Amino acid sequence: MDLPQAFKTKYQDLLGNASGPFLQALQEPGQKGFRINPLKAQTTPKDLSVAEKVPYGKWGYFGQVDGKGVDHVTGLVYSQEPSAQFVGEVVGAQPGERVLDLAAAPGGKSTHIASQMQGQGLLVTNEIFFNRAKILSENIERFGVQNAIVTSMDARDLAKALPGYFDKVLLDAPCSGEGMFRKDHDAIQYWSEDYPTECAVRSHEILESAVKLVRPGGTLIYSTCTFAPEEDEQTIAWLRSTYPEFTVEAIDRPENSGIKDGRPEWADGGADLAKTARLWPQDLPGEGHFVARLQKAAAVDEAETVKETKLQKPSKLAPADLQLVKDFFAETLPGFALDVQRLKSFGDRIFLLPKDCPDLAKLKVLRAGLCLGTMKKNRFEPDHALALAIHPDQAAQVYALDSDQEYRTYVHGDVLNTQADLQKGFVLVTANGNGLGWAKFVNGQLKNFFPKGLRF
């Protein structure tokens, strides 16, 4: 890999004798990784040989994911570079919290946070660029997340809509990407001596909105995938100087993980900057990352507290439509506790809103909780997202694919012939113990409902 001379000179000056191992590490192959999804019924991968855990990730392993394999298609695993997994661990979301992932695409950190929340609380996962937000929404769906709202908004607009709303806000900032050079060689082409400073200015602008989204007493987590002090320690120094209500917190890191302290001498010299974390490729099997966690001061008096955000009102479905939905769940998913007070219609699609969902009127929403299905003429048809979110024991009828050939037939969109003892109606199709999609059983055949856009 041909690194820019200005880049090498910069880090030779910053790192001194340690620059040799650093620059050499960038010439070596990177390490791939993945996380297992604890939201799934079956959490033992079929296609992957789990050899070694990532030392700082609860669900993380080293290894490569087959994008067309059972584990990936059912959402059991999420491909994520090992160093990036540390960011989610620092967030440490708890069930019942309100959490925002402000620049979330493609979804690695959001799905990690969803794992921690266990379906309880509210996760807002946002991406300003709409095309990337669609990919984010697809990954949230495949992971089976039920309590997430996917939005595509500028941080300033989000701060106006939900000021002081979140217990935790993560900004994985758009950055110069120096930590991804060996993973994405194209990132080298964008780099210039001035690029880190340009990215730092952009991060400051986003942070001006991010701080407004954190509730009094809440937490802001800031991360980058770059080594640049301008975007890392210097940005945190700017943040806590500009917003003194925020203080830098220490970050737990496992012993012998290779994770290093931040470098105060590369910013204003404040000792608190050593509480931030740096992940260097010469010190651990992963790419480059920087992580900082800051706590916002609690409200001093009542005047500083933020008024409770208005909640989203559910839709009043037509009585006939509501009955069709209720009948479907009673017959097809008797183990699913359907809360009809949280149903929301968007056109002919029916969603189950997260509990205590905020008013969506001022939000640009791609996904509002769990898409249950679509109202057709005199019938309700379940959505693919529902098959990925439920556990098989919630379904009245399950068809478990028992061979690689059956799996290939199903994901190709073909009809399955079967002698199984099934009743006419919708059947949950599973692979390796997890929901894969829907089929409709009629006259000894399973009519395939695997989405056309996902077939291969």
pLDDT above 90 coverage of the chain, percent? 91
Task: Tell me the two tokens of residue 424.
Answer: 């006419």
Q: Please give the annotated binding residues, written as ranges.
A: 103-109, 127, 154, 172
pLDDT tens column, 203-232: 999 999 999 999 999 999 999 999 999 999
Segment holding 372, helix H or strand E: strand 370-376
Contact 236, 211 (CB under 8 A): no
pLDDT above 70 coverage of the chain, percent? 98
pLDDT tens column, 339-360: 999 999 999 999 999 999 999 9
Task: Tell me the two tokens of residue 399.
Answer: 């068809």
**Which residues are tagged catalytic?**
225
- Mean pLDDT in the chain? 95
Exposure string of 205-238, with b = 16+ CB inside 10 Å and e = fewer, is ebbebbbbbbbeebbbbbbbbbbbbbbbbbbbbb
pLDDT tens column, 395-438: 999 999 999 999 999 999 999 999 999 999 999 999 999 999 99
CATH number, span 397-456: 2.30.130.60
Beta strands in 66-212 (DSSP E): 77-79, 98-101, 122-126, 148-151, 166-172
pLDDT tens column, 51-83: 789 999 899 999 999 999 999 999 999 999 999
Domain span(s) for CATH 3.40.50.150 in the chain = 22-296
Taking the model in full, what pTM does it have?
Answer: 0.96
Kindly give, in sequence order, each residue whose CB lies less than 8 Å from that of residue 216, ignoring residues fewer than 6 positions away: 164, 296, 297, 298, 299, 304, 305, 306
Domain span(s) for CATH 2.30.130.60 in the chain = 397-456
Nearest to 293 by CA among 180, 167, 202: 167
Which one of 3.40.309.10, 3.40.50.300, 3.40.640.10, 3.40.50.150 gives the CATH number of domain 22-296? 3.40.50.150
Q: Please give the annotated binding residues for S-adenosyl-L-methionine, written as ranges.
A: 103-109, 127, 154, 172
Residue 184 has pLDDT above 90, yes or no: no
Nearest to 386 by CA among 397, 376, 395: 395
Segment holding 53, helix H or strand E: none
